[in-house]
Amino acid sequence: MARNKEAIPDGPPDEKWMGTYGDLVTLLLVFFVVLYAMANTDLKNFQKIAWSLRVAFNGVGEETASAVVGDANSATTSTDVAAAPLFSDSLPSKRRDFVRVSTELTSFAQELNVDGDISINMNMEGIIISLSEHLAFEPGSPELRPEAEEVLDQIVDILQTIDNPVRVEGHTDDIPTNNPLYPTNWELSTMRAVSVVRYLTEEGGIDPKRLSAAGNAEFKPLVPNDSRANRMMNRRADVVIIYPTESRRFSVSWPSSQN
């Protein structure tokens, strides 16, 4: 009996594998193009994108962000902060303003050569612009330094573009004052806050109804008052731009009594 031969298909061989192969080659080409583009990307633009994304996604949970203006050792440098407008249009208002405030004050601080004396922070309440005592005040006095007035002029320009309430807070370290006009740090910190508020209203034209002043003495330090460097950090004035949270209002209707 003759052996059956295997049927040989007519026509050309199956070439479906060619489609998969072509896709693989295309993906490899795209991959190498991306690598080449990354190798030639402007580093400044990359830092801008990185900063914008960090601001956009920072703050999960306690929702905090910070920028130390002009500090070369900080992750937030002037190059980083200037990047934010790339993505800021899609951010919530507080984050968008945080990006803008950081950008403007960073550039201005470098012009005044007051690097490290200004920091911008964001928490659940709002945006906090901190001015160091070295920048803002004469030692043991609420009198504003000329450099502080220039920075406050810049802050006025920022506040004029928004209508948020603003609270100015004075802070000291735990060393008692030597000025008989201010027997405790409560008086000194409060008067420093008042000095800033008066400048914002009298020189900057900010509506006084938006402003309030508070003195915290040494009782809200950034770091423990256990070294000279830490005490310097704690002596500051904070300009807090407040973003009120929307609260739901509930009304209760009591049934009227019937006779």
Helical pair 93-112 and 43-57, crossing angle rounded to 10 deg: 140
Helical pair 93-112 and 146-159, crossing angle rounded to 10 deg: 150
Comparing 68 with 247, the larger pLDDT belongs to 68
Q: What is the pLDDT of residue 248?
A: 37
Q: Are residues 133 and 94 in the same domain?
A: no
Q: For residues 78 and 69, give the distance between their C-alpha atoms in angstroms, rounded to a whole number.
A: 7
pLDDT at 195 over 90: yes
Q: Is residue 153 part of a domain?
A: yes
CATH of the domain at 148: 3.30.1330.60
Comparing 161 with 72, the larger pLDDT belongs to 161
pLDDT digits (tens, 9 = 90+) for 95-143: 888 888 888 888 888 888 887 899 989 899 999 999 999 999 988 999 9
Q: Is residue 141 part of a domain?
A: yes
Q: Is residue 9 part of a domain?
A: no
Q: What is the pLDDT of residue 244?
A: 82
pLDDT digits (tens, 9 = 90+) for 66-82: 666 544 344 344 444 44
Quote the number of domains for the chain: 2
Q: Are residues 170 and 193 in the same domain?
A: yes
- Lowest pLDDT segment from 72-76, 196-200, 203-207: 72-76
Q: Which domain holds residue 87?
A: 42-62+70-112
* Coarse DSSP helix, strand, coil percentages of the chain, rounded to the nearest 5 percent: 45, 15, 40
Q: Provide the residue type at 8 as one letter.
A: I
Residue 27 φ/ψ region, left for φ over 0, alpha for ψ in the -120 to 50 degree band, beta for the rest? alpha
Q: Is residue 12 part of a domain?
A: no
Tell me the pTM. 0.66
Q: Are residues 90 and 153 in the same domain?
A: no
